[in-house]
Structure 1
């Protein structure tokens, strides 16, 4: 998606953000005294955070304040907002900084392990999206989440899974008060026509039997500036909608949507979710092009079938496009 953002020093920033989590103004001097560092050291850390796009509120004579609801990731807080059976369903790992949550989930989890796993991070230094693109992953601003789920259905049994995850994410955002989120096949969430979130599935193990599917989810939450992103983007903060920016609450709401949907998906596939996905299809009826390598296919977006394949209406007839190394764009886009 973009070139990697500069790394920050997460330890001091974590301590500063923890002090600012009460939503009040704190002077640089007071923050420095609390941490045993100079006011200049506090300013330098927060300046780097702002340079990475964090919408820190700074008022002369008052100091610094976080946007309402902003704060650090807290696995116990997320678990407390889940039903007991869901809170104990996953093994939880939360990191200050990793290369990517998907990569870390793959290192920790292995085929044959029974318990699902959730990996969260405040920052990714090598976050990635589909087709090898890098994902902008600044510190403490967005959701970088990966779920490792043991599966025994093989690759074909996972058709439509990325669409289901996107649907659950949009439904969770609707539950949290956001309006207008839509889905773009096969793995993007859009808001106001710009990219808000993306999903990356990676499978390891026996593709015909026991395997682990890692579901990576990235959501722009607090990001307010990112010159390195090479496509139209938006964040929940920049949307201007008066809804929660609490990442812990958003994650809990998403997991409450996802867990029962995954169970139904494993039993019946994508078919039960097709109409709900179609109702949120951002490009329904629009002229699009499907790009695969150097090949392009033009047509009209006709939604998806019961397996989650794109239905493309072309001049020579309807074509079904499965996922993989393909890209869908409006046909006037470059």
Structure 2
């Protein structure tokens, strides 16, 4: 554990687990404070919308579990906190700030390819979230096979030649996450929103946003005060709370 590890945050490293988010759900009720749970290997990693997340040995798989409080909409803004924290950690371990960008809603890109996936899952019922699990997967050494229509997966090693261990990455990520979490709690979403927009991929360009039922093409104008996508289409501006984005 590094000297910059945030005070009051626990750390658990497992050799193998089904998924770190699932482990967080099992542990949540017994935790007295926030915790990082990292696994050197996941056997059933998950991505958004129930997709499989492939996790070869040497890649990063971890979950930050906490009890943030507040309404579901506010809790969900931790996806932007996580993206900014991962961005900062990547810059820290590579010294290449211009190589990374943030893709709405919660991916981190390296040289235009998908490097990082982030998955938020609530642990609890009703309008108030009991605990929140923020799962983060980073292709440190290996990139999985690409899917049709999706961005090409990349690894940190293949794109930069830099080899980083999961432990080293967690040492960089935990203090970065604590910094942005403190920003959100202290000042609200506005500074998080602006910082995210400063690093956003394809801002002002044409994108496609696909929801469960519809597909919308237009100019990516930013995100609103809640984090929803702002898309200027031929029919006018649309505010899209949840979708998959394609370039």
* TM-score (norm: length of structure 1): 0.68
Cross-structure match for 2:130: 211
Larger Rg: 1
Q: How many residues align?
A: 242
Distance 1:159 1:251 in 2: 22
Q: Which runs of 5+ in 1 are unaligned?
A: 1-78
d(CA) in 1 for partners of 2:43 and 2:216? Answer: 35
SS at structure 1 position matched to 2:160: coil
Structure 1 contact 92–117 (Cα < 8 Å) conserved: yes
Measured in 1, the distance between the counterparts of 2:244 and 2:226 equals: 18
Out of 201, 212, 217, which is 2:120 matched to?
Answer: 201
Q: Deviations over 1:1-41 (max 9, x none)?
A: xxxxxxxxxxxxxxxxxxxxxxxxxxxxxxxxxxxxxxxxx
Q: How far apart, in 2, do the equivalents of 1:248 and 1:96 lie?
A: 12
1:169 to 86, 100, 106: 86
Alpha-carbon separation, structure 2, partners of 1:252 and 1:207 = 34
Question: Taking structure 1 as reference, are residues 125 and 113 closer, same or farther at Cα in structure 2, changes over 3 Å only?
Answer: closer
Task: Indicate if the aligned counterparts of 1:202 and 1:215 stay in contact, CA closer than 8 A.
Answer: yes
CA-CA distance at 1:175 after TM superposition:
2.0
1:132-281 paired onto structure 2 within 5 Å = 132-139=50-57, 141-176=58-93, 177-179=95-97, 180-209=99-128, 211-223=130-142, 226=144, 228-230=145-147, 231=150, 232-241=152-161, 243=162, 245-281=164-200
Structure 2 length-normalised TM: 0.90
* Moved beyond 3 Å, runs of 4+: none
How far apart in 1 are the matches of 2:194 and 2:128? 29
**In structure 1, what is the Cα distance between the partners aligned to 2:198 and 2:246?**
19
In structure 2, list runs of 5 or more residues that go unmatched.
none
CA drift at 1:229: 4.0
Q: Quick one: distance in 2 between partners of 1:188 and 1:207?
A: 27
What is aligned with 1:50?
none
Instruction: Name the CA distance, whole Å, in 1 between partners of 2:129 and 2:84.
Output: 26
